[in-house]
């Protein structure tokens, strides 16, 4: 069995609307990427507060279609639905269908964070049954432990959680940090995320690990004081969130920030220095972990 892949380039401002129209017309999936990736015209664009809503100047859309679909007819209908002329240069190829679930799972293996802490996918057996094994199914959410920013946060938790802490994980993704905090001895852990799919994945992962972490959209976050506030997001959102996260941190409590490129660490730390005594950054693979203690009311 095979499926068809149709690829073409459009202006960045129309990419999202056309991608949605392709799905509505019957495409199995649509990927949007920088059409100039790998060239001198490549644009480093991240979906953060303050970033352009127009994506890249030119976007390449790649749509997967069932074998029986007429690609050009589907594309013409989708373009008509959003008021665009169909692109002239369209690449159409047949690709073999795969067991995508099996192939995706094959990418995730148990990860040793510290000698006593492992991340183990739910479909794998723990390499060290005596360790603290966090059972994880990332679903559609970020946070498997394989990225340097997540590892840095987990290593910090393994070293600093002493027992009894209240922990907030802002931008919780898969829930891995809140769950780890509880498994390491924290008394309470709350996660916040704007993505409903991330909240579902986090709740499922908490049940897998038999911990009572709670996960909420921002509007429902309890707003209590926390001994530890973690945020593994990106630099721009972290800067925007600084007043909110400081308000959630108890005096003497700690902030743990990640998702920050090494060259961004100084500017992010400077913002948080208004509330926290910031330690020098910890660096790994081009990413930085920032930690501070709340000293200002």
The DSSP line for 67-97 is TTS-HHHHHHHHHHHHT-PPPS--EEEEEE-
Q: For residue 23, what pLDDT is reported?
A: 94
| Averaged pLDDT, 177-190 | 97
Q: Which of 3-17, 100-114, 159-173, 277-291 has the weakest average pLDDT?
A: 100-114
Q: Is the pLDDT of residue 295 over 60?
A: yes
* Residue 141: pLDDT band with limits 50, 70, 90: very low
Span 3-8, average pLDDT: 92
pLDDT at 47 over 70: no
Decide if pLDDT at 279 tops 90.
yes
Cα radius of gyration (the chain): 22
Question: For the residues 49-66, what does the mean pLDDT come to?
Answer: 74
- Averaged over 169-193, what is the pLDDT? 96
Whole-model pTM: value is 0.68
- Pair of tokens at residue 5: 């892949």
Evaluate if residue 55 carries a pLDDT over 80: no
CA 169 vs CA 107, 150, 223, 255: distances in Å: 25, 12, 12, 10
Contact indicator for 231, 202 with CB cutoff of 8 Å: no
Query: What's the token pair of residue 219?
Result: 């509007």
Maximum average pLDDT range among 35-44, 139-148, 249-258: 249-258
pLDDT band at 188 (very low <50, low <70, confident <90, very high): very high
Backbone φ and ψ for 227, nearest 5 degrees, come out as -75, -35
Mean pLDDT of the chain: 88
C-alpha–C-alpha distance, residues 215 and 41, integer Å = 40
Q: What is the pLDDT of residue 138?
A: 55
Q: Calculate mean pLDDT across residues 28-35.
A: 89
């Amino acid at each position: 069995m095979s499926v068809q892949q149709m690829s073409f380039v459009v202006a960045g401002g129309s990419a999202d609307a056309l991608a949605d129209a392709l799905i509505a017309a019957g495409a199995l999936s649509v990927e949007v990427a920088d059409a100039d990736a790998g060239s001198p015209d490549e644009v480093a664009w991240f979906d953060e507060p303050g970033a352009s809503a127009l994506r890249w100047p030119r976007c390449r859309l790649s749509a997967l279609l069932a074998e029986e679909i007429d690609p050009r007819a589907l594309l013409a209908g989708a373009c008509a639905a959003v008021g665009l002329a169909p692109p002239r240069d369209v690449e159409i190829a047949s690709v073999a269908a795969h067991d995508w679930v099996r192939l995706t799972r094959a990418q995730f293996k148990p990860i040793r964070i510290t000698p006593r802490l492992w991340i183990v996918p739910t479909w794998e057996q723990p390499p060290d049954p005596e360790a603290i094994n966090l059972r994880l199914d990332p679903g559609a959410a970020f946070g498997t432990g394989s990225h340097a920013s997540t590892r840095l946060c987990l290593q910090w938790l393994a070293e600093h959680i002493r027992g009894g802490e209240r922990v907030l994980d802002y931008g919780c993704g898969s829930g891995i940090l809140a769950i780890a905090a509880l498994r390491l001895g924290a008394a309470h852990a709350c996660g916040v995320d704007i993505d409903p799919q991330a909240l579902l994945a986090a709740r499922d992962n908490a049940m897998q690990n038999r911990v009572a972490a709670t996960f909420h959209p921002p509007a429902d976050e309890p707003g209590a004081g926390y001994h530890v506030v973690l945020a593994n997001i990106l630099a721009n959102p972290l800067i925007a969130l600084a007043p909110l996260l400081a308000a959630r941190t108890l005096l003497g409590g700690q902030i743990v920030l990640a998702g920050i490129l090494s060259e961004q660490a100084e500017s992010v730390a400077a913002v948080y220095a208004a509330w926290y005594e910031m330690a020098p950054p910890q660096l790994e693979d081009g990413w930085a972990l920032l930690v501070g203690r709340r000293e200002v009311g």
